[in-house]
Structure formats: C-alpha cells, structure tokens
Amino acid sequence: MCDNIVNNVRRFCRRLAYPKNYESMTKYEHADFTDDDTSIGSVHLTEGIGNSAIRYHTGSSMWHRRSLLEKSLLILVGTLLFVVIVLAFLLSSADKTIQESRIIDVESSNRGTTPCLTKSCVHIANIMLQSMDDSVDPCEDFYSYACNGWIKNNPIPEGKSTGDTFMKLIQENQLVIKHVLEQPIGNLKSKAEQKAKLYYESCLDVNDTIEELGAKPLVNLIKKLGGWNITNSNFNVSSWTLQNAMQILQNKYNIGALFSYLVGEDDRNSSRHILQIDQSGLTLPTRDHYLNKTKEHLKILKACLEYMTKVGVLLGGDHNETEKSMRAVLEFETQLANITTPDELRRDEESMYHLMTIAELQDKADFIDWRNFFWDALRKVKKEKLTDKEKVVVYAPQYLGNLSALIKRYENTTEGKIIINNYLVWQVVRTFTGCLSKAFRDAYKGLRKALIGSEGGEEPQWRYCVTDTNNMLGFAIGAIFVREVFHKDSKEQAEVMINEVRTAFKNNFKNLKWMDAETRKAAEIKADAVSDMIGYPDFVLDSNQLDEKFADLVIRVDTYFENNINLIQYTFRKNHEKLNEPVNRTTWSMPPYTVNAYYTPSKNQMVFPAGILQKPFYSSTYPPSLNFGAIGVVMGHELTHGFDDQGREYDKDGNLHKWWNNRTIEKFKERTQCVAQQYSRYKMNGKNLNGNNTLGENIADNGGLKAAYHAFLDLSKSKTEPPPLPGLNMTHKQLFFLAFAQVWCSSVTKEATMLQIEKDQHSPAKYRVIGSLSNLKEFSDVFQCKSGSPMNPKDKCEVW
C-alpha cells in the first residue's frame, strides 16, 4: 500500500501499453497509484413492407364496383406502390449485402479454400469467435463487435475491479513461477533464485509469523524514526528537526515524502547519471482527489480518513485523537496538492528540465540543507565529498519554492511541527502496512472500494506472493521463467518483426507533408538508431552474474517485514552507486516475467520482455495477421513513442534538445492538438477523457497500429495468403484488426474507470481501439465503412 521501491521522479519509460491494472499492484503501489444495429433494423423494415403488400392484395372483392377513373387511379397507385416496394426491397438487400461484405470482405476469395484446421488455428478461431458479437455493425462500434462476447463471458471476478486479457496471461505466468518456487531449494540453479524462494516463503507465512508479530515490526520502526505523536512512541517535538526526519525517511527507507529524488540518466547528456528531483508525497492518486469537491471525491477523502484512522488505532493510537491528527495530515496534503502541477501540464520535457547546482537549489528552496541531505545519502557509496557545485536536475522548481514557503508556515508553531512529523511518519506507515498482519491489510478495504469499486476478494495468498516476489526480485524470478517457458526462436522471430515494423514506419515518412526534408532525414536516422532488447537480459541465465547482482542482499524465510526493508535499502544503494557513472545501455527496467513493454527516450531504446511474447500476443503457429495485429502493434506503439509529443524532443542518442525545424514543430503540434481534442470528446460513465494527459499514448496507439498494418501488408506481398481461420469467414486483413481489438477486451468497474481517467496516461481500452481505428483509412476500406459512419468519420487525426 505504498510507493514504488525506487520512487518515480517522473515517467522515464513510455510503457505499452496498457492501463495500470489496479488488481496487480503490489504493496508498494496501492496508495500511490507511484453502443445501433442497422442489420436488425433493415430486416425488420423489409418484413414490414412485405406484409403491407400482402394485406393490400387480399382486398380485391370491391373491384367490380369501381368506376373506370377509380380503377385507373388504383392501378396507378398500385403500380407506384409496387415500384416503391421493389426499390425498398432492393435497397434493403443491398444494405444487408454491404453489411455482410464488411464481415466477409470479398467472400469469393475464401470460397473453395480449405480453412486451416491445425490445433492452433481451431483453438484461436474458437477464442476469437467467442469474444465477438457479430450482431454489432463493425462500422458502428468495432470494440463492441470484437469484445462484447468476451465481456459477456468474462464478468469482473468477485472481489476484483477489472478483468482483461493481460490479467489472464499474468495469471498463467504466475502458475509457472509458483510451480518452480515450491520445489525444494536445492533444485534451484543459483543463490539468487534461492533468495527469491525464501522471500516467497516469507510472504506465504506458513508459520503465521506475520500474524503473531502483528503491529510490532512497524511500532519498532516508528521508534527508530524518532516517534509519532499518534502513538505512544516517545515523540519529542522540541528535539525534532525536519532535516533529520527527511534524511531518515528519504535516505534510509526511500520514502517519497514532500518530494522524490533518485539518480537517473541525464536527459541532456544521456551517457551519464545525475541527481534528479521532482514533486511527490500525496497519499491519494491525484491532486484532484483533494481539490475537486465532487460527491465521488468527497467519498474517497472520507474513506481515506477512515483508513488512516484505522491504521493509527491498530498501532496503538486513541481513536478520537488519531482521527483528529489524521484529519490535520489530510489538510496538509491538500495544501501539497494545491501547489502540485497537474500531469497534463508537465508534458513538455524541455521546459521541465532545469539544471542547477546544489547552491542554486538551496536558494530556490531552503527548507532543508540540500548538500548535507544528498551527502547523507551518498556517503556510503561515494568516496569524494559532495560540494555545492554538484549538479541536480530539478523538474519542479516552482513546486519546491512553494513547498519551502508552506513548510516555513508550519514550522513557526509547535502544532505545525507535529503535523509535519505526523505526515512524514504516515508516509512510512502506509508504505509498510502491506507487510503486516491481516488486520492492517483489511483496514485498506474501504479506501480500495472507494477508489476502484472493489474491496478485494479472497485471492489465494500464493498469487499475491508470486506477484510480490516478482516486483521485489524480478530478475531472479526471470531466470526461472525464461528456462520454463520462453523459446529462443521467439526472440529471433520478434527481432525480424520489429525490423519489419520499423521499415514500414520509416516508409511512411515520405507521405507526411508536414515534415521538412531535413527533419524527415533526421527522423529516419533516429528510427534506425532505436535499439531493442527482447525476452530477457543475458545475465539472468548466467548463475554467477545473477548471484553477483544480489550478493549483498540478505533474505530470510521468517522475516517478511525485514526482507522488505533490506530490499528497499539494497535498491536505494544500487541506484545511488550510479551517480556520475557512465550509463549502461543494456540495463532493463522490467523483469522478463512482465506482461508489458516500454520505450526509454534517454536511451532511444524499446524493450519487450518474455512475458508478453506469448499467446494471445504472439505464437509461431499463428498466421502473420494475428501476430502483427497483436504484438506487431505493441512493437509499433513503442517505436512511435520515440516520436510522440515527448519522445520527439530526444535525438537519436537519447539527448534532450531541439533537433526539429521550427515550422515542422508548429505543424506537428497542430496535428497533436487534433488528437488531444478527439480523445477529449470521448466519454466513460459521463466523464470526458483527458486528451492532453493521454496524448503521448494516443499518438503511440495510432502510429503503432498504422506501422504494424503496413508491415503486415508488405510481408503479404511476398507470400501466399494463408488459409482462412475456421468459422470466421474473414480475410486476413480483417483478422489483423480483430486481433488488435481483442487484445484490449476488458471488464472494469465504474470506480476503476474513473480513477484511470483521472490518473492514467493511457486511454480506457474501448477508446484505444475506437480512437485509433477510426483514424485509419485502411481499416474503413477493409470493412467497407461508409464515410461519416462512427468508425469512418470524415475528419480524421493523423500524426505518423
């Protein structure tokens, strides 16, 4: 229920792809979350006209009584009505034929062709058919057409807030890891893997050590912090100083309170590491949860106060006094939220980068002694003394200046100092409650329910512990996963696909009239320079290298709480050792087991872990249409991140500077504004999406889809089209788009959707499909969507 082990200073990696899954968040993430059916209508219309005609002709007994003029008029009216009926029938038939042709394309292309009847083809065809809803016109709502069946067959699991194809694959991977971790320790090939097993077993707590200890581990930790006014822990306000408190929290336990910092790659000199500092420190996911006094937000604030109070009482506090103190902490956080800059206003990387000396930072924000603060963190890993001339990249100078003024107002009174310390210790408490007994974990249920619509079900403890172990010792687990599941040929075939997608992406540059020749050439060079890492880093299969990586990490089977502290301190130390050291461009940010992918702009590099190079994203037995529609689009997505509104500011070497022509930049921004406005018009549960906050991911979705589709077309030119999949009656061009859409089939609670809209930089799954497909002319051509239909709007947005 807390911050990531290494606090995120900002978004260094453009992740694939998918919205944060709030079910799979570890204890270090919980509190920081760091449709018209025209075919049916036309059938009914045809039947109605037919019945009217029959009724009219049965009324002929009065014919002999009519005059010649009446008979002539009736004949004329009848003739006209007959013509109307025939025309209506023909139009209806034509409309039905067009509707069918959207699904079948040119049906004769498959006529006489034996479908693929291999086990793999039959299996995947069955899955795709069960996920579809062919009663929906694909030109009206392709997401519903592709996913309604999946949503019907996969309701949100009890106690969960979401269910999707990613989670299904994650759960399959968990079974693989569980099987190996539960083998005798002697069967594991390295000491690092053995440490992963020990950590896993400490999490399982088969001897009930965690339950027996209860609050004791955290109570002891609070005493080491200097005490807490909320509990009886000998807090002495007269001897308290912010400097000492911050150095303990940030530098010993890596808690991102008030601000966060780390050692990262210098955006303007990507070959070296540098200190970086940014805004941070809120318990709730966004500043809006504090500042927007809507009914939903007030409900969340109330649940948060109840959660904080429950935890304080479990640690020994009096209920009334604890609630009063926690209310003051929330008020302090509200003032922090007020000076925090919204995410959508932090997208210009160049304007956010501020290189300062420590002396200049001291002038900007003097609420602590920065040189002593940083030296306290670095003295164990650096021999040379830190000076005032040491450089720091500051991403939020205005925030730090305002924070300094806020802190000084509170420090003027004894009560204010107590509130600041209560806030700081609360940040530690919320970080470690997930390592304590069930009573502490249950305390979070109310806030969880308010945030994501689910209290959480009785998930098997082993699943939580596999996920937890992966987050803490992911590369040790990665060795196990790669040996058990990943095939070497998948890595080689993925490399081929990446280069095919890259070629298609570059070939499209010549069609972009908004780019000048010089910028186009530089963009081609950057695209060629994007490096890729696939599957896993080589060291995970080398026992000696793996053991060396975790050599100074101590893990014991019966000390889950201490294991977590050891891991936090180990990770913190490893991060700070990199200061002023050259950047290793082969390091990974995601372990192999992860079902995701990412792009790092400062390395101009994209990474595809082994976890995502599996069905349904990829299989060597799938036809190319399915592979390119799924993992191919993921590859294109990550590649396009190098050219989104943020990634395009970094050159081929990963350095942040201006390398585009001014006129081209202006035209690029006009096109990105179109995308931002398009997605801002979409609504979920009555709330508009934030097209500015999701801009980079939306650009990547659109560009990745286009690049992957054209890579598939280029490949198809040199190969005979594979036989169709059984039962689908779709061409492989259509299957490409169906495979793409079905990756995003999901069921989500209303609350989790609202949280995603407010916090996540990815659009909800439905609009990741609809938004990108409706901008792609080739999709409308394949499904013969009329101009002006929902999936083929006359006005489209195109960047890449």
Active site residues: 638, 701
- Order across the sheet with 598-600: list the strands: 14-15, 598-600, 605-609, 531-535
Query: Is residue 625 classed as helix, strand or coil in its secondary structure?
Result: helix
- Note the Cα 683 to chain centre separation in Å: 19
Are 246 and 368 a contacting pair, CB within 8 Å?
A: yes
Tokens found for residue 711: 């890579």
Distance between CA atoms of residues 643 and 640, nearest Å: 5
Cα–Cα distance for residue pair 748/2, rounded to 1 Å: 23
Burial label, 58 (beta-carbon count in 10 A; 0-12, 13-18, 19+):
exposed
Residues 6+ apart with CB under 8 A from 111: none
Closest by alpha carbon to 37, among 134, 136, 141, 132? Answer: 136
Asked if 700 contacts 606 with a C-beta cutoff of 8 angstroms, the reply is no
> 605-609 and 746-748: which strand pairing?
unpaired
Q: How far apart are CA 11 and CA 5, in angstroms?
A: 15
Closest of 638, 561, 566, 562 to residue 606, by C-alpha: 638
Q: Virtual CA dihedral for 89, 90, 91, 95, nearest 10 degrees?
A: 100
d(CA 379, CA 576): 10
The first and second tokens of residue 784, run together, are 């013969």
CA angle 721, 722, 728 (to 5 degrees): 110
Q: What is the dihedral of CA 404, 406, 412, 415, to 10 degrees?
A: -130
Mapped onto helix, strand or coil, the DSSP state of residue 747 is strand
Q: What is the CA radius of gyration of the chain?
A: 30
Q: What DSSP string runs through 508-545?
A: GGGG-TTS-HHHHHHHHHHHHH-EEEEE--GGGG-HHH
Tokens of 180: 């190996």
Report the half-sphere exposure of 495 (CA within 13 A, side-chain side): 9
> How far is 325 from 270, CA to CA, in rounded Å?
45
Query: How many angstroms separate the CA atoms of 742 and 125, rounded?
Result: 12
Q: Which of 434, 709, 383, 378 is nearest to 565 (CA)?
A: 434
Rounded CA separation 152/511 (Å):
41
CB-based burial label for 12 (10 Å; 0-12, 13-18, 19+): middle
**Bridge partners (DSSP) listed for residue 276:** 262, 393
Determine the length of the chain: 800
d(CA 476, CA 481): 9
β-pairing verdict for 531-535 and 391-394: unpaired
Q: How many Cβ atoms are within 10 Å of 289's Cβ, its own excluded?
A: 25
Strands (E), 150-295: 162-164, 259-266, 269-279
Q: Count Cα neighbours of 345 within 13 Å in the Cβ-side half-sphere.
A: 7
Phi, psi of 639 (to 5 degrees): -60, -45
Instruction: Decide if 672 contacts 649 (C-beta within 8 A).
Output: no
Backbone angles phi, psi at 227, to 5 degrees: 95, 170
CB 792 within 8 A of CB 776: no
Q: Can you tell me whether residue 601 is helix, strand or coil?
A: coil
